[in-house]
Structure 1
Amino acid sequence: MKKITFLLFIFCATQVFSQNTETLKKEALRDAQAACNATLKEDFKTLLTFTHPNILKAAGGAEVMEEYLKTTFNQMKANGFAYEVAETKAVSDVVKEQGEYRCYVENYNVMKMNDKRITSTSYMLGFYNETNKKWTFVEAKEMKATGSVIAYFPEFKTSLKIPENTMEMTDIKE
């Protein structure tokens, strides 16, 4: 009888964890797409709510980062740059490591730069904030040992196998 009770407990605990991670995965997709939508609309206030707090702190705060993004986007637009598509295509399995839920999301982007079209697939590392019930993201390639932001995440380790970004540039023929 004890074995049956124990097995039922294990089964129920596994089911609850599985359902929880599936819900978190759906929420990661929702939040990553909201960040993409904010990028397309140049709604930097919203975009920054989906940026990991360590990045905002390193940049000097959300207000500083917002001004930087406005300036950067204006310069890029002046040079003929425009986002055409920004969408989240997929979310990895959610894992719990180092005391937090994590995943990565695959984003698909199409951008135009003068007479060139740039198509890319990039990956963001997601961190779930259990207090706010919200995912925040960091560019995954920058979290590698040689990345520019890994220093802002002391002791960071992950078991997630994040694919490499891809990019293709083609001439626009009109």
Structure 2
Amino acid sequence: MKKLILLAFSFLLIFGSLQAQSPDEIWEAANQYALANLNEDYELLLDFTYPQVIEQAGGREAYKKVLLQMNELQKNRGMSLSDFIVKEPLDKVKAGDEWHVVVPYQSVTKVKGGRLTSENTLIAVAAEGKSKWYFVETASLTERNLAKVLPNWNNTLILPYKKAPIFKED
């Protein structure tokens, strides 16, 4: 009987770990995050934002206000997000009780006279045994301040180098 219970417990641990690592789940969640960005759906965007980021911003309403202000500023400058393309998730590591996965993406922003194409990275985060993925934008993060946002960050993932956006005239 003890062997059966131990076997069942081991199966649950292994299944939970595998569930948290599914590239398809990560890609699907990242695409929902992308769609929320494109549609300016701030409630959904907040649902996919790593809770530590929201907490550091002063809570859900405070972070939503920041997102709205940033969007308004971009609109006032004649900028609008026109595409957000999620690429294949890359490296993944276990960090404390979380999984961290590098997810590259390309965004296209309509600006006066053309389009800006940017290559960037998200960090997907899921707690051990969970299939809910949250995201951290890395545009303003460095290796130095990353641990402030992701307390379990263990420096085993290497974030891709940041690239300057490319302007293409209309």
TM range (shorter): 0.7 to 0.9
Q: Does 1:159 align with 2:156?
A: yes
What CA deviation, in whole Å up to 9, does each residue of 1:14-35 have, x standing for no partner? xx67x92685221111111111
User: How many angstroms does 1:120 deviate by?
Assistant: 1.0
Q: Which residue of 2 aligns with 1:99?
A: 97
What CA deviation, in whole Å up to 9, does each residue of 1:55-99 have, x standing for no partner? 100001111111221122122112100111102111014322222
Structure 2 residue corresponding to 1:111, chosen from 86, 109, 112: 109
In 2, Cα distance between the equivalents of 1:66 and 1:139? 15
Q: Which residue of 2 aligns with 1:70?
A: 68
In 1, Cα distance between the equivalents of 2:151 and 2:167? 39
Contact 1:129 1:136 in 2 (8 A): no
Q: Cα RMSD between the aligned structures?
A: 2.7
Q: Quick check: 45-54 or 107-116, which moved more?
A: 107-116
Contact 2:119 2:165 in 1 (8 A): no
Q: CA 1:167–1:21 in 2, change beyond 3 Å: closer, same or farther?
A: farther
Q: Which residue of 1 aligns with 2:143?
A: 144
Structure 2 residue corresponding to 1:51, chosen from 49, 52, 63: 49
Question: Equivalent pairs: percent with the same residue?
Answer: 25
Structure 2 residue corresponding to 1:35, chosen from 33, 36, 56: 33
Aligned residues: 158
What CA deviation, in whole Å up to 9, does each residue of 1:101-153 have, x standing for no partner? 111101111111212421111011111135762111112351511x4x53243
User: How many angstroms does 1:48 deviate by?
Assistant: 1.0
Q: CA 1:102–1:153 in 2, change beyond 3 Å: closer, same or farther?
A: closer
Contact 1:105 1:125 in 2 (8 A): yes
In 1, Cα distance between the equivalents of 2:155 and 2:147? 12
| Higher Cα Rg, which structure | 1
**Where do 5+ consecutive residues of structure 2 fail to align?**
1-10
Q: Quick check: 36-45 or 64-73, which moved more?
A: 64-73
**Where do 5+ consecutive residues of structure 1 fail to align?**
1-12
Q: Which residue of 1 aligns with 2:84?
A: 86
In 1, Cα distance between the equivalents of 2:103 and 2:42? 20
Q: Secondary structure at the match of 2:133?
A: strand
User: How many angstroms does 1:171 deviate by?
Assistant: 4.3
Contact 1:120 1:165 in 2 (8 A): no
Matched letter for residue 44 of structure 1? Y
